[in-house]
Amino acid sequence: MINSNDFNEYIKNKKINSKFDVHSIESGYKGLTRYFKENNFNIIVINKDKKKFKINKFHESETFAYKKISKILTSDKQTRNFDKLSLAEKKSRRKQVWGF
């Protein structure tokens, strides 16, 4: 969870007019995770089993582009598309996302 005051501090000077702008906030070089990491926040992912994963173990949460992503809390277009990939395509996507 992100405290609304902290999120508002991050977002206050951001321009959000398109899906690309939103994607930059989610995944870009100056994205949300980087901002909070640079400001010494403890960044974790929690999967549906209520297990916590530090940033260097995010892939083990099985919430995105790793194994069957069976432990996500909610589904979106990206996770549904990953589910439809062949095994070879999943391996390629995993390398793209996680670097291995």
CA distances, 24 to each of 14, 16, 28, 68, 69 (Å): 10, 9, 4, 26, 23
pTM: 0.77
The pLDDT score that the predictor gives to residue 18 is 94
Local structure of 79: helix, strand or coil: helix
Span 77-100, average pLDDT: 91
Structure token pair of residue 3: 């405290």
Q: Could you give the CA distance from residue 30 to residue 54 in angstroms, rounded to a whole number?
A: 20
Provide the phi-psi class of 29: left if phi over 0, else alpha when psi is between -120 and 50, else beta: alpha
The pLDDT score that the predictor gives to residue 16 is 92
Question: Would you list the domain boundaries of the chain?
Answer: 4-38, 44-98
* pLDDT confidence tier of residue 56, bands split at 50, 70 and 90: very high
Helix (H) or strand (E) holding 63: none
pLDDT of 67 strictly over 90: no
Local structure of 35: helix, strand or coil: helix
Average per-residue pLDDT in the chain? 91
pLDDT of 10 strictly over 90: yes
Question: What would the pLDDT profile of 28-40 be if each residue is shown by its tens digit?
Answer: 788 999 999 999 9
